[in-house]
């Protein structure tokens, strides 16, 4: 009797809540469902509302012959309101079992949304653990700009690339840059193959009576989902350290070893130059993953260990390593803020050239402004297609206005404040939002704070937000 009496208010509240949305199960407080996206202006379904992930523990096994992936994802998160249900992002794969805090939970799926219905409401502020067991053949996802990401098969294995929405192909999560978390990634692969991931390798052991090898990688600093990776295949592994004692772990497909040896040997020198210019390196190790040229269509700044399809040139290496500060440590709040990644990483290339007997940043800026930078006239014109802080659509977030014109914005700031203050801004920006998220408004406010008395209105208006080619002042 007392039990049913006690339940009455809850049931009533649930009945009312049902009118609006889902409600918690028996004995729970009323709650509402977390949203199926975080209102990203370019990817509205990416990410999910109602919780913040703090840690992903992924245990994966991949069979290179059948392309079959088995996974268990343990997701530790904090509820940001009373949650009757919440979504994870997962594209493809089969969900085999799901539990919240050890109790099995039901789920429904619709497109990339995996809706989890815990038995009772997860209370606001509570840290809870969702365990998803899943399996299947992970998908390659085609981006709005036509490039491949997600799970990509390579000549001798596979590779996970996540920008902007590819992580949902290989693990369930809150697939949006605004929700960063730490990771433990354990991956079992057939004997003779390696599995390389982000962070530091904590263990490597023989499993299944010698038939497989299991690698455990640890990412102790927050990482956005799009920066998580695993690369499976044959790799030559080189371990070195920089002068500051930072471990460098480089994995190169043997076919690319000869072509990439000289450039990859520059990693310590580039890291030292970047630390001098951008401030202390934010992570506990560095490195690179080099697969074959045809394995992917682009390089990616996967955290601590950027990925390259084939031997990179020095500029690309400088670019992806610069992203560790700008993109990986300071991460955009939404995909609209991409220029904060690409403009900075591109400007890093200009600065490297300037400091190493190449063109000065001013010369690069002038060539772009004059339209003599690219071989092709139409590429020179394309940089004026839209303002860096306002890409026209999801298909254009990696176009040249985000990269080259984004770098031009930084050059205009440098012109306005002078070199000493400009480098203070580069370092200060990385320090102010270390391990966090920031958007364009945060950046313009930061620059204004760092240069009192200077007027940036014209730069923001014409270079950052304005349509068309700005007039030369």
- Considering only residues 187, 230, 296, 345, which one is a binding residue for Zn ion as defined by CB under 5 A? 345
Q: What is the DSSP string of 12-75?
A: HHHHHHHHHS----TTPPP-EEPPS----SS-TTSS-SSEEEEEEEEEEEEETTTTEEEEEEEE
Q: Among ligand TRP, Zn ion, none, what does residue 90 contact (CB within 5–8 Å per kind)?
A: none
Segment interacting with Zn ion, rule: CB under 5 A, options 228-236, 338-346, 377-385, 426-434: 338-346
Q: Of the two residues 61 and 263, which places its CB atom closer to Zn ion in the complex?
A: 263
Burial group, residue 141, by CB count within 10 angstroms (0-12, 13-18, 19+): buried
Closest alpha carbon to 62 in 191, 161, 166, 179: 191
The values of phi and psi at residue 257, to 5°, are: -60, -50
String marking each residue 185-224 x if it binds ligand TRP according to CB under 6 A: ----------------------------------------
Map the footprint of ligand TRP across residues 301-340, applying CB under 6 A.
Answer: 301, 319-320, 323
Site string for ligand TRP, 120-149 (x = CB under 6 A): -----------------------x---x--
CA 399, 405, 411, 413 torsion: positive or negative? negative
The Cα–Cα gap between 6 and 403 comes to: 60
Q: How far apart are CA 260 and CA 307, in angstroms?
A: 13
Integer Cα distance of 309 and 298 in angstroms: 6
Nearer to ligand TRP, 23 or 389 (CB): 389
Task: Tell me the window of 52-60, 214-222, 295-303, 385-393 that interacts with ligand TRP (CB under 6 A).
Answer: 295-303
Segment lying near Zn ion (by CB under 5 A), choices 82-90, 225-233, 268-276, 341-349:
341-349
Q: Is 164 in the site for ligand TRP (CB under 6 A)?
A: yes
* The entry of Zn ion, ligand TRP, none that residue 256 binds, CB within 5 to 8 Å by partner kind: none
Classify burial at 52, counting beta carbons within 10 Å of its beta carbon; exposed 0-12, middle 13-18, buried 19 or more.
middle
Q: Which of 46, 299, 348, 425 binds ligand TRP (CB under 6 A)?
A: 299
Distance CA 95, CA 73 (A): 11
Applying CB under 6 A, the site for ligand TRP has a residue count of 14
Told to check if 274 binds ligand TRP by CB under 6 A, we report no
* Maximum distance among all Cα pairs of the chain, rounded to whole angstroms: 85
Q: Output 81 or 319, the one with its CB closest to ligand TRP.
A: 319
Q: Least Å distance between CB 35 and Zn ion?
A: 29
Q: What would the two tokens of residue 90 be?
A: 């997962």
Distance of alpha carbon 164 from alpha carbon 327, whole angstroms: 12
- 180 phi, psi to nearest 5 deg: -90, 150
Partner interacting with residue 404 (select from Zn ion, ligand TRP, none; CB below 5-8 Å by kind)? none
Which of 213, 219, 364, 398 touches ligand TRP (CB under 6 A)?
398
Cβ–Cβ < 8 Å for 315, 352: yes
Q: Which of 163, 179, 291, 349 binds ligand TRP (CB under 6 A)?
A: 163
Residue from 105, 201, 288, 300 touching ligand TRP (CB under 6 A): that is 300
- State in angstroms the smallest separation of the CB of 342 from Zn ion: 5
Q: Please state the closest distance from residue 361 (CB atom) to ligand TRP, in A.
A: 19
Cβ at position 315, least distance to ligand TRP in Å: 11
Which one, 345 or 409, has the nearer CB to Zn ion? Answer: 345
Q: Which residue reads 């040139």 in tokens?
A: 313
Nearest residue to ligand TRP by CB is 398
| Two structure tokens written together for 378 | 């139409």
Q: State the minimum distance, in angstroms, from the CB of residue 397 to ligand TRP.
A: 5
Q: What are the C-alpha distances in Å from 331 to residues 140, 328, 340, 430? A: 24, 5, 8, 10
Residue 291 binds what, of ligand TRP, Zn ion, none (CB under 5 to 8 Å, by partner type)?
none
Compare residues 172 and 401 and give the one whose CB is closer to Zn ion.
Answer: 401
For residue 397, state whether it binds ligand TRP (rule: CB under 6 A): yes
Q: Which residues of 201-223 are buried (b: 16+ CB within 10 A; e: fewer)?
A: beeeeeeeeeebbbbbbbbebbb
Binding to ligand TRP, residues 406-435 (CB under 6 A): none
* Nearest to ligand TRP of 298, 456 (CB atom): 298
User: What three-state secondary structure class fits 360?
Assistant: coil
CA angle 352/358/360 to nearest 5° reads 75
List residues binding Zn ion (CB under 5 A): 342, 345
List residues binding ligand TRP (CB under 6 A): 143, 147, 163-164, 298-301, 319-320, 323, 345, 397-398
């Amino acid at each position: 009797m007392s039990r049913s009496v006690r339940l009455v208010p809850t049931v009533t509240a649930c009945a009312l809540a049902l009118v609006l949305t889902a409600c918690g199960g028996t004995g729970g407080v009323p709650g509402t469902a977390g949203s199926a996206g975080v209102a990203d202006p370019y990817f509205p379904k990416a990410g999910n509302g109602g919780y913040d992930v703090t840690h992903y523990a992924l245990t994966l096994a991949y069979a290179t012959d059948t392309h079959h992936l088995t996974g268990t994802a343990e997701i530790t998160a904090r509820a940001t309101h009373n949650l009757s249900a919440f979504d994870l992002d997962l594209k493809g794969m089969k969900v085999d079992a799901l539990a919240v805090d050890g109790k099995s939970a039901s789920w429904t799926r619709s497109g990339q949304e995996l809706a989890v219905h815990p038995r009772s409401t997860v209370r606001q502020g509570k840290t809870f653990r969702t365990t998803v067991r899943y399996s299947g053949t992970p998908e390659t996802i085609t981006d709005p700009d036509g490039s491949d990401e997600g799970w990509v098969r390579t000549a001798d294995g596979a590779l996970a690339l996540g920008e902007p929405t590819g992580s949902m192909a290989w693990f369930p999560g809150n697939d949006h840059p605004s929700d960063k978390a730490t990771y433990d990634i354990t991956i079992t692969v057939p004997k003779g193959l390696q599995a390389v991931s982000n962070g530091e390798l904590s263990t490597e052991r023989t499993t299944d009576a010698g038939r497989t090898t299991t690698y455990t990688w640890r990412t102790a600093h927050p990482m956005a989902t799009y920066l998580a990776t695993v690369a499976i295949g044959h790799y030559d592994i080189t371990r070195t350290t920089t002068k500051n004692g930072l471990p460098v772990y480089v994995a190169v497909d043997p076919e690319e070893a000869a072509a990439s040896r000289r450039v990859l040997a520059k990693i310590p020198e580039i890291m030292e130059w970047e630390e001098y210019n951008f401030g202390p390196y934010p992570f506990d190790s560095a490195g690179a993953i080099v697969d074959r040229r045809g394995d992917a269509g682009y390089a990616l700044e996967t955290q601590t260990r950027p990925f390259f399809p084939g031997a990179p040139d020095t500029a690309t290496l400088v670019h992806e390593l610069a992203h560790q500060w700008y993109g990986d440590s300071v991460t955009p709040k939404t995909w609209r803020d991409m220029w904060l990644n690409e403009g900075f990483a591109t400007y890093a290339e200009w600065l490297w050239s300037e400091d190493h007997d190449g063109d000065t940043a001013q010369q690069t800026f002038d060539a772009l402004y004059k339209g003599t930078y690219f071989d092709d006239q139409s590429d020179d014109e394309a940089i004026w297609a839209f303002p860096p802080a306002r890409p026209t659509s999801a298909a254009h977030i990696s176009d040249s206005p985000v990269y080259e014109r984004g770098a031009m914005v930084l050059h205009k700031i440098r012109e306005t404040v002078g070199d000493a203050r400009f480098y203070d801004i580069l370092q200060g920006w990385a320090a102010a939002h270390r391990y966090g998220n920031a958007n364009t408004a945060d950046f313009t406010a930061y620059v204004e704070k760092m240069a009192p008395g200077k007027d940036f209105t014209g730069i923001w208006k014409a270079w950052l937000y304005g349509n068309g080619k700005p007039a030369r002042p």
